[in-house]
Amino acid sequence: MGAAPSRPNPCASTSFVPMWVISIENFQKLDHMPKHEELMKAGLLVKRQETHFCIFVSHQWLGTTHPDPHLRQLPVLQAALKNILTGRCTAQSDLASQFFGESKQLSQQELQRLQNGYIWLDWFSIPQEADLAGSLLVDNLTADGTNSPASSDIAHLLSGSSVSSATDQDLYIKSIPFFVEVSDIFLALVPHLYHHDTMQKCNFRSYLMRGWCRLEMWCSILCVKPDQPFLVVKGSDEVEFATSMILTDRPPHEGRFTLKADRQTVYLVMRRALQNQLRALRSAQHWDSYRFTLARSETLLGEKSTGRSLDTFLRDFEFESLDTAKRIRGIGPVECAVLSNDVSMIRRLAEDGFDLSRKVTAKINVEILQHGRSALDFALELCWRRPEVILQLLECKANVHHTDDNGFSPLGACKTADAVELLLKYRAEVNETSGPLHCSPLSLCCVRCAPGEVIAKLIQSRADVNPPSKALGSPNPLANLAVWSCSNPHCFEAADLLLDARADINMCCEAQGIFKAIEMFSRARIQLLGSDSLLVHFFAEWTTTPVGFACFYGGAEFVEFLLAKGADPHKQNARGNTAFQLARGQSVLKVIEDFRSV
């Protein structure tokens, strides 16, 4: 491990409790899950130092009182770390992100430092036998018996809790933004397992539904380190960088909580994380990200949206004037008004001549809102909770036929059936496609994890469930469900709706034009030179069926679902490979093994 310290940041979060971590070397030797107090007694926990390379591990507990009662999660993480360190597994961007030009992987320096790194995990790093936090206040008394500045900060940290009843554990929990921020890697541990007490499935999909998991995830998204890797570990050989596309619209307060009181605690921690991020972005003058985050803060916290006067609006979002703001190519007044659900301001800006349908070029790390999206796209993706925002844009002549740089239309961004109906009322075309990708609204809604009501409304409105091939061949709607099947809570409902509407479960995708040339080039490259690129292999194999897509994307449950519905795993693609030959990941291979044994 190098001696380079974590980069200091004057706007970083603060903590008044130690960040206890265990070395990866000692972690790999564990054969059970000792709690914090046991590890302390054994001398295996150390206080995090600036020179430490740390991994923050976020996970869903598999028991009510113990995170891993049958020791199923621990060996998965141990094996995954071993595979990463030995090069047997390469952590890289998911396939969809690579397709749109985002390619990430751990750097050689990160891999080198990981060898001697440290792990933070709640069961290990937070006291489980809670003591009253009042002792920390006593420890911080000055010589004359008054509270030190640190004591005042601790009391502030416990705002919302009675200091007399608060515990050390409360302080550790409310320091999570700090723990995430100083970590070098955020890792979500989400193997496909079952909860010991409820017998419910626990995987990436259920992880994204949990309020506490969402909070930790958002602390990473809001981290002031823009390059902090966010890894998702689904299995010992299934490690990917997370994409903001499936994370951006999952506020913590809307997640599931075992204890009702936890929702308020999560609110306080999330508010603190947002304040830290906004302070840092403002100090660095990263105006696109600052305005985007500030505009969304009420939605992310579950607070009631409050309209602003024009002067307050300009001041809060750091605009000199409306006239100068018209020249901004990134997040401008219209986007701020939309994302903050300020209906009256949208109307005011339209009257002042702002273009409600312009292509936004924003410097924000949110893939879903890049590639020339419009304010209407923003509203449909992120403001669906407030349908009056969408209606106001349409009444102010926002263009329902606007397409982004990929040719995607607003109808493909709908998150509610009412939004679909509203856009169709304003003459959106249900089967309209545009270049370069020619992806239909129904296919887009499937890949963007739209709820079943959206899929049903589009089908009812005569959306083609077996669209003709154009350009990329726009993997048909059923195949597009495979892209995020591991995280999409609506995947199986949507698939049933498509199949009920007679979607062809064995339809092969077909590329045309330049995408046919890319396919042939990729096949030739693999044949002549070989390739480790996941994207090259996808281009070479994409003329497969929906179950082939599910196998390639590692969606074990969706593979199992399609096979049960009668999908033909032996149908070959243009390269002569069957769906099973495209399988990636041990979880998919296990489904295939079980299928063959029947």
Burial of residue 92 (number of CB atoms within 10 Å: 0-12, 13-18, 19+): buried
Residue 163 has pLDDT above 60, yes or no: no
351 Cβ contact list (under 8 Å, min separation 6): none
What kind and span of H or E run contains 234? Answer: strand 230-235
Per-residue pLDDT tens digits for 203-231? 999 999 999 999 999 999 888 776 889 99
pLDDT band of residue 145 (cuts 50, 70, 90) is very low
Residue 8 has pLDDT above 60, yes or no: no
Helix residue ranges, H only, 302-351: 310-316, 322-325, 333-339, 343-351
Contact between 508 and 573 under an 8 Å Cβ cutoff? The reply is yes
Mean pLDDT of 464-491: 86
- What is the pLDDT, as a whole number, of residue 377? 95
349 Cβ contact list (under 8 Å, min separation 6): 322, 333, 334, 337, 356
Per-residue pLDDT tens digits for 415-429? 999 999 999 999 999
Per-residue pLDDT tens digits for 421-477? 999 999 999 999 888 888 899 999 999 999 999 999 999 999 999 988 775 555 689
- What is the pLDDT, as a whole number, of residue 159? 47
Per-residue pLDDT tens digits for 243-281? 877 888 999 999 999 888 899 999 999 998 999 899 999
Per-residue pLDDT tens digits for 324-351? 999 999 999 999 999 999 999 999 999 9
- Residue boundaries of the structural domains of the chain: 20-131+176-258
Residue 547 has pLDDT above 50, yes or no: yes
pLDDT band of residue 57 (cuts 50, 70, 90) is very high
Token pair belonging to 274: 């947002």
- What is the pLDDT, as a whole number, of residue 471? 59
Distance CA 366, CA 515 (A): 26
Mean pLDDT computed over every residue of the chain: 88
Mean pLDDT of 573-589: 92
Distance CA 253, CA 160 (A): 16
pLDDT band of residue 155 (cuts 50, 70, 90) is very low
Distance CA 427, CA 446 (A): 21
Residue 319 has pLDDT above 90, yes or no: yes
pLDDT band of residue 131 (cuts 50, 70, 90) is low
